[in-house]
Structure 1
Amino acid sequence: MFKLAATVLVLNLIFVPCIVCDERHQSVINADNHPLYIFVDPNYTYDATNPLRAYTFQNISSAIDWIPYNASNRFVILVEPGVYREKITIPKFKDYITLQGQTKYIFDTVIVYNANHGSANGTGKSATFEVFSRYFIAQYITFQNDAPFANPGAHDMQAVALKLSGDFAKISDCFILSSQDTLYDDRGRHYFKNTYIEGNIDFIFGLGRSLYERCNLISNVNATTSGSLTAQGKAALTNFTSGYSFHNCYLGGTGKMTLGRPWGSNAFVVFSNCYMEDVVDPVGWTHWTDTYGPSNSTAFYAEYQNYGPGAHSLKRANWTRTIKPDAAEFYASTDFIDGLEWL
């Protein structure tokens, strides 16, 4: 069904229950204290005697459609194992939705579609799964776009697996799979943990403010070519709502990849305490293109205490920043995404 990179680090899947603290938004506390459960089972047949018949659906889209707008409770969608070939949108004002696979084996529950920039008339429109609401949670799910594989230099082949355009989203213990533009980390504060993300060109991109912790970041570019991991889009220096921080992550896969190139003139990306295989290009960071696009001179690209064969190179681009321990600690913590308010 999909192509995995040669190098895979096994995820340690641990379910950690939510701990409510006084700093969290009261609306989040209320929603999480009164969850409502609905079920998705592709093999379900209507049974008038089943007490859960009104809350069981054969596909994920139907379950999301059933959830009311402006609800104050959290709706937990428990998804039976299966391959769900759907193109799904969670619209604005359907807040507090959790999507959770019924088993902890992530490949059991796959949401997949096959649109790309050309067929969908836009990169953002190609997303297999897109979220515009707040307080979305996903766990034990594979999000995949299986459109034709995009090699570097291809046109109109961007194929988004997951797009996050809502605030306060948490993705844990998931797989996100495609080639070019795999994860559209668009806007809002997001937390990714224990998640495997695979692609080749700008495969994490957008203007979100996100922390990635203990994630596998895997290049699937062909062995003789080179790709890029991030294309962060922060444009204004005073925009403090945009930036990516990667902490305790693993970088591996095939071919070569740079850590990022600036989609916005003030692109902001930090890697700290990450293990980097030699798949990471010694230069580390690159230009948007050789002839046009944002300048690297104003981008904030920083590395701190990374290790592994791809972490240290005398060939690193001279615009790479050095940061002090207190700054690195902030970027590596959930404070970077105002986590005390909502996690």
Structure 2
Amino acid sequence: MKLSTALSFVLIGAASAFVPSSITTQQASRSSPSALFMTDDAVVPLRIGTRGSPLALAQAYETRRRLIESFPELEADGAIEICVMKTQGDMILDKSLMELGGKGLFTKELDTALLGNEVDICVHSMKDVPTWLPDGTVLPCNLPREETNDAFITANGKYKKVADLPDGSVIGTASLRRQAQLLSQNPTLKCVNFRGNVQTRLRKLDDGVVDATLLAIAGLKRMDMQDCATAVLDWDEMLPAVAQGAIGIQCRSDDERSLRYIDALNHMDTHVCVNCERAFLEALDGNCKTPIAGQARIIDGRIVFRGLIAMPDGSLKYETEATGSIDDAKEIGRKAGEELKARAGEKFFQMMVEMSPQQVLGQITK
């Protein structure tokens, strides 16, 4: 069966907003932290900002579902509005993320809408969110994390693992992190810039454009497409990206209404691990040419962290592990980043700055 048969995921009405309707003031208890704001007896909707890809929409609707579960009054018609917008990262697909500037490509337009009071909250894939946030915004909420590993995918499951790929095989990936770890295992592999939503990438694989690709298993699961995965790679084969598998919800720092809503959704274990990983990334301050991976887990009540930085061609790789108290999660991540930064040395990062996009992206860039 071709992978394209799994590409029929549809969200009914995803691109349309909920039309507000009137309810009485008595139906919305103002004494409750979750009370709907009312203007002239009309519902003031909670507006959710999201990208328009199928995965982004799945995450926005997952947020909507959890909000309604926690606050049943939000099930009323017009109580929640999904606001879909395109980001720079969505619109320019013929260039790599590195060539476009890397950080913030999937969040800038959402940030602008949030600060302009066009939306009340924004739902993000956390691995797309820069370690800095615009002034006046906060990101206090993470939903329960999905499995963080990468999925290895080949057409018709021809190759079952990375080691099975013949020398010279072409891998479709837009991720320098994945490229570096693949090439460290087999330097003969060629990585081609692979952009677009999940369905587009799988279609290209099905058409024989590449021999294999890698995607986050979390995204496939959220779209009920996990059967497309040939294998799920463990951390020894492919250490995932910082905050992979986590959904974050951002709002304005002075928006008490939105803060009350999303505070009820926060999954503390996920929040702690994501904060640890993002502290690691922030300490490294790697530019968009730097392959970085970092993952934290809570095991027996303690944080267990693994981190990695590498050259884009996989020729050089530095790894670290750390364990400590949950209360020290951010500090553990920060110290792990500082350790790798010291071990790699200034020359390592200077080489990243000086490398051309062609050198960074490998032999195949289109």
TM-score range, shorter chain: under 0.3
Q: Which TM-score applies when normalising by structure 1?
A: 0.25
Higher strand share: 1
TM-score (norm 2): 0.24
- Which structure carries more helix by proportion? 2
